[in-house]
Structure 1
């Protein structure tokens, strides 16, 4: 059984991006895979910003990335790029921290003018971390995401395409051998 780690890079406690990350984790778990959700904002700020990879919470988070067969990166778009919080965490990973993994880059934002931020800012980092396969990235408009009485709702214009991207990601997971590191099996 493959395992997936959803990493949410929003600093907001009321983040729609984080809610989408949780939605994806639940969909993946419903497909029979193991899914965990790492909220970077919950990591100790001093350790995160000080790059203290020996701090227990940071070491545990990095370990979760290492153990996962697939990673979903969920980020809000700020100033035409992914969040600095997510960047701070990704900078702590080893050079090939995504080796052998399928990765789904996903972003939310207020305008379609930010759609290319995923491909021009986040995707190069995903590839530099050695991802085996980065599936088609996905961008959700903030206005297509609503939370009413703690229930997430995705507008039909985005719900279908989001489901398709999740399906692509799960198919990519099926091709990821467990414990593969730089082409060598453990």
Structure 2
């Protein structure tokens, strides 16, 4: 089982990336975690929708192979980031079919909290996501910088991330296996089952 963390911020160091770091720490070694920084993709390939470009093709393949996605974005002018929008536009219409998605967002004030539900969620659902979990929105005050200038997730957001990661795990375990995926075991007819007490 793999989970892809998608950083949708145009900045290298950002509050939304700090949320992804916190999620990754909570996932620990329990699952295979991959990370996609959209800002590292070829800007020209993104803007020209060049899906055959090496960086874009690799990013689309990362999405395809993941069981679940955690998408983090800053909110600008009541919408998610433009770099995230451009990338999502390049994905096939059913790119998120059979996948869980946990959306995360950061913004300057609580006023843009609903951007998760009114801007990002519809796009994720239009890409056929099996289930978009309840998102987490954090204000700048909830992800402050520490004395070293690094963003740190505040205790209230940390608690919500704990809950979200637990729900993500439970939902992944409830999901049916992907078509063609086998567990490595053949079915055993009930008549052949032996028990000892």
**Alpha-carbon offset, residue 152 of structure 1:** 4.8
Pick from 31, 36, 39 the counterpart of residue 38 of structure 1: 36
Deviations 1:15-40 (A, max 9, x none): 12112212212322x15101111110
**Alpha-carbon offset, residue 150 of structure 1:** 6.8
TM-score of the superposed pair, with normalisation by structure 2: 0.86
Q: Quote the Cα distance in structure 1 between the aligned partners of 2:55 and 2:83.
A: 15
In structure 1, stretches of 5+ residues that fail to align are none
**1:161-180 → structure 2 map (5 Å cutoff):** 161-178=160-177, 180=178
Larger mean CA deviation between 91-100 and 147-156 belongs to: 147-156
Q: Quote the Cα distance in structure 2 between the aligned partners of 1:173 and 1:151.
A: 31
Pick from 36, 44, 49 the counterpart of residue 47 of structure 2: 49
**Alpha-carbon offset, residue 169 of structure 1:** 1.4
TM-score of the superposed pair, with normalisation by structure 1: 0.91
The number of aligned residues is 179
**Alpha-carbon offset, residue 115 of structure 1:** 0.7
Structure with more of its chain in strand, by fraction: 1
Q: Quote the Cα distance in structure 1 between the aligned partners of 2:104 and 2:138.
A: 8
**Alpha-carbon offset, residue 142 of structure 1:** 1.4
Pick from 81, 84, 89 the counterpart of residue 83 of structure 1: 81
Q: What value does the CA root-mean-square deviation take over the aligned residues? A: 1.4
2:61 is aligned to 63
Q: Quote the Cα distance in structure 1 between the aligned partners of 2:99 and 2:81.
A: 22
In structure 2, stretches of 5+ residues that fail to align are 181-197
2:105 is aligned to 107
Pick from 142, 145, 158 the counterpart of residue 143 of structure 2: 145
Q: Quote the Cα distance in structure 1 between the aligned partners of 2:169 and 2:2.
A: 10
Q: Quote the Cα distance in structure 2 between the aligned partners of 1:152 and 1:58.
A: 29
**Alpha-carbon offset, residue 103 of structure 1:** 0.4
